[in-house]
Amino acid sequence: MINQDEVFVITEDDILKPGDKGKGKGPRAVPAAKGARGAERSGAADETVAGNAAPSRAGRRRRNPAAASTLSLFLWGLGQLYNGDGKLAALFLSCELLILAFHYFLFMTWDRIRTFAHLFFVNEWELMLYASSIDFCVIFFMIYNVAQAYRGAEARGGRFDGLHRPIVSGLASLFVPGWGQLLNGQLGKAVFFLFSFFVQVYLVVLYRLSPFFRILADIEPRQFLLNRAIKIGMAVLFVTALSWLMSTYDAFLVARYTRRIRA
């Protein structure tokens, strides 16, 4: 007689070789208490796995790439901090503070630096070239800071398709070219327009606050180089200003088009 409290366990051999009954093989009777304990252990294991998975999902909150890149655009490292990467945020913020301190030091002590450089046969024009090369590296680093915050947020929150708000995107690019493209989820366009904008700002600062014109006048008294530099600078400013308008129009148009498709 089969006891109702017994649980039969069917193994793989019982299925593959059903004719071997009576040879020590076949379903084995297991007491119901053992089966119940096994079920309890299995349920406890499932609860443990689910409990461990829940905090990990909670710890990886979705991040908005538009918000992260916007924060890093105005303050280095702030977007990385928003993404939960505190060490990288501290690195970017420290770099920004050092760069600002370096430029302030150059602006306040340029005459002393020029006098000291003459001791090593380095003229003022060469000093200006060195400083300009550093500034262009800073521009690329600024753009990398924004792009890294954007990609970091995408890695945590998935692909970003844009805000689909034409007015907001257009006004953002009118204020800072490339910002509206970030809000639209177009990082490639944003990098291009941001580079144009930073170059434009750099040229304005170079012409207005640096001794650039005086140095060119000292090098060539006939002012041929000075006039050539002014013409080249005006052409670059015109192109970057045109890209400013293109950025505004593109941000508004793309946001309106994607909103229609989404609707």
Do 236 and 134 belong to one domain? yes
Reported confidence tier of residue 209, pLDDT bands at 50, 70, 90: confident
| Distance, CA of 233 to CA of 240 (rounded, Å) | 11
Do 192 and 218 belong to one domain? yes
Do 104 and 157 belong to one domain? yes
Do 209 and 166 belong to one domain? yes
Q: Tell me: the pLDDT tens digits for 60-102?
A: 578 899 999 999 999 999 999 999 999 999 999 999 999 999 9
Domain end, chosen from 59, 80, 101, is at 59
Q: Provide the domain limits for residue 10.
A: 6-59
Query: What is the reported pLDDT for 9?
Result: 58
DSSP for residue 5: T
Does 22 score more than 80 pLDDT? no
- The reply to whether 1 falls in a domain is no
Q: Into how many domains does the chain fold?
A: 2
Q: Tell me: the pLDDT tens digits for 4-16?
A: 555 555 665 666 5
Domain end, chosen from 21, 36, 59, is at 59
| Distance, CA of 142 to CA of 92 (rounded, Å) | 9
| Residue 187 or 52, more confident | 187
Distances, alpha carbon 78 to alpha carbons 71, 93, 137, in Å: 5, 8, 20
Do 11 and 50 belong to one domain? yes
Do 140 and 256 belong to one domain? yes
- The reply to whether 215 falls in a domain is yes
| Residue 248 or 158, more confident | 248
Do 163 and 200 belong to one domain? yes
- The reply to whether 180 falls in a domain is yes
Reported confidence tier of residue 146, pLDDT bands at 50, 70, 90: very high
Do 256 and 177 belong to one domain? yes
- The reply to whether 129 falls in a domain is yes
Average pLDDT of span 126-146: 93
| Distance, CA of 176 to CA of 45 (rounded, Å) | 54
Do 211 and 194 belong to one domain? yes
| Strand ranges (E), the chain | 6-9, 28-31
The phi-psi region of residue 183 (left if phi > 0; otherwise alpha if psi is between -120 and 50; otherwise beta) is alpha
- The reply to whether 214 falls in a domain is yes
| Distance, CA of 254 to CA of 97 (rounded, Å) | 35
Does 56 score more than 50 pLDDT? no
- The reply to whether 224 falls in a domain is yes
Domain end, chosen from 42, 59, 76, is at 59
Average pLDDT of span 126-139: 92
Do 50 and 79 belong to one domain? no
- The reply to whether 18 falls in a domain is yes
Do 70 and 176 belong to one domain? yes
Do 70 and 38 belong to one domain? no
